[in-house]
Amino acid sequence: MTLAQLRYFCTAARYHSITQAAKALFVTQPTISIAIRELEKEFSLTLFTHSGSRLSLTEEGEIFYNKVSAILADCEDLRADYASSASSKATVRIGIPPMLSTIFFPELLNAFHDEYPDIWLELQEFGSIRACDLVQNDILDIALINMEIPNVDKFHARLLLSEPLLYCVGRDHPFAEKSEIRLEMLDKAPLILYNQDSVQNRILQDRFSALDIQPRVVMRSSQITTILKFMKQGSCGCFLYQDMLSLLPEITGIPLVPEIHTKAGVIWRRGRYINSGMQKFLNFCEHYYAQK
């Protein structure tokens, strides 16, 4: 028995799928399958029943899962305790959406390092949906996400800010002189959306469907530089946070009627140990955005 085998088993149980567990842990499907078979052989258990590709825990599998979850939580506590007291810098693994990492996060990051030079923030860019999966599987400690994501209540969470979305275009766009935009005006209009793991996309698609309109999506991207080039050189529009516009003088932001607000916050897994580095970062974020 190894900790890796136990982690693979628990992830497969949470996803009810070897395929999804392998994607979440960045390993191959055979790696997950072999780990489960070895655990079943070592403990003389049948851990799962199979219905097509869906896994379900057996009764003895559920008992085993509860015990293993406690073991993994204790191991994480031990790692965090000694990591935070080690002579080297403590590390907090943070997931952040690409748009926020480009615009909002650099100032916060610099301010945090000024106050806590011995805590290292390891940043990884993920959309909110993917980041939640990685937090649940302890690959990330914390994630900054769009709080409109479904099932956010299964995590510990703190709301940091509520930011209106604007419809943004280049100066030569036909709508550049508009004082407001209704979504109905964007039917068949060329539009740039974020990548598929964006919660904002889901919110917008729901609004479009409710109004029975279909903007013409010309690109999906998470890179602000790419999006800006398309907006400045063509007729494409994109939805951006209002605060971003102060840093993008070449882009015109048009208020939406009715408004669409995006709520951003931080999440971490329920039941996990909060080491001193995580606690300091969470408190700093809350104080920082409260001042802003």
Long-range contact set of residues 82-85: C-beta below 8 Å, sequence gap at least 24 = 83/275, 83/277, 84/275, 84/276, 84/277
Which class for 45: exposed (0-12), middle (13-18), buried (19 or more C-beta within 10 A)?
A: middle
Lowest mean pLDDT among 105-109, 121-125, 138-142, 164-168: 105-109
Query: What is the rounded distance in angstroms from the CA atom of residue 42 to the CA atom of residue 37?
Result: 9
Q: Specify the pLDDT at position 280.
A: 92
Q: Specify the pLDDT at position 197.
A: 67
Statement: residue 87 has pLDDT above 50: no
Statement: residue 223 has pLDDT above 80: no
Is residue 110 very low, low, confident or very high in pLDDT (cuts 50, 70, 90)?
Answer: confident
Q: Specify the pLDDT at position 242.
A: 84
Enter the pTM of the model.
0.64
- State how far Cα 26 lies from the chain centre: 16
What are the structural domains of the chain?
A: 3-74 (1.10.10.10), 85-161+263-291 (3.40.190.10), 163-261 (3.40.190.290)
For 8-55, the pLDDT digits (tens) are 899 999 899 998 888 887 778 888 898 899 999 999 989 999 888 888
Is residue 226 very low, low, confident or very high in pLDDT (cuts 50, 70, 90)?
Answer: confident
Query: What is the rounded distance in angstroms from the CA atom of residue 2 to the CA atom of residue 42?
Result: 11
Residue 230: CB partners within 8 Å, gap ≥ 6?
Answer: 192, 218, 219, 236, 238
**Pairing of β 54-57 and β 48-51:** antiparallel
Query: What is the rounded distance in angstroms from the CA atom of residue 240 to the CA atom of residue 218?
Result: 16
For 250-280, the pLDDT digits (tens) are 889 999 999 998 888 999 998 887 888 899 9
Statement: residue 82 has pLDDT above 70: no
Is residue 115 very low, low, confident or very high in pLDDT (cuts 50, 70, 90)?
Answer: very high
Query: For a pLDDT cut of 70, what percent of the chain falls above it?
Result: 93
Mean per-residue pLDDT, 130-155: 88
